[in-house]
Amino acid sequence: AKYKKEDSLKVHILSKHDNKHRFSCSLCNYAGNRAADFREHMLTHTDHKPHQCPHCTYSCIRPSQLRKHLITHEKDRSSQVRSKTSKKKMYRCAFCDFTCTRIPRLKAHLSKVHLDLPDNVILSVDLSHLEKPQSQEK
């Protein structure tokens, strides 16, 4: 990794490569240099999981775990549907109730509203309902 500032490199070296760890867990072999990381680690030894999925009962310790989990709901909620009134193709956000008629608009919504999502979220659209089953004649 490249670091623009020398201080950033020093922080990285001290937090990742220094063998003298300031924080050690008494319940397992975890050791680290950052207080925030240590506090987060200590949650692994409790039932407290502060990050709750808005779509199911899943909860977790780290925000990054929740972001990864939310992608599993994308297949359930991001699907192409027909509007009952206009018969236009509609696209639904996997993370809220936003709908639109164009994929670029949905992508713009994801980048503006759901800022904490990773850049590599895959937009999936279920087109299976548009395929007609082929009859198998013998």
Q: Which residues lie closer than 8 Å to 69 by C-beta, 6 or more apart?
A: 53, 58, 60
**79: pLDDT strictly greater than 80:** no
pLDDT at residue 81 in the model: 46
Q: What is the pLDDT of residue 113?
A: 82
Instruction: Output the pTM of the full model.
Output: 0.39
pLDDT digits (tens, 9 = 90+) for 16-49: 666 677 788 899 988 888 888 888 888 888 888 8
Confidence of residue 116 (pLDDT cuts 50, 70, 90): confident
Q: If you average pLDDT over every residue of the chain, what do you get?
A: 73
Share of the chain above pLDDT 90, in %: 1
Q: Please give the single-letter amino acid code of residue 22.
A: R
pLDDT at 87: 53
Position 77 scores a pLDDT of 54
pLDDT digits (tens, 9 = 90+) for 86-112: 556 677 777 787 878 777 888 788 778
Q: What type of residue sits at position 40?
A: E
Q: Which CATH class is domain 51-116?
A: alpha beta
Please report the pLDDT score of residue 2 as a whole number: 72
Q: How far apart are CA 102 and CA 125, in angstroms?
A: 12
- Strands (E) across 8-115 are located at 23-24, 31-32, 51-52, 59-60, 80-82, 89-92, 99-100
Pairing of strands 99-100, 51-52: unpaired
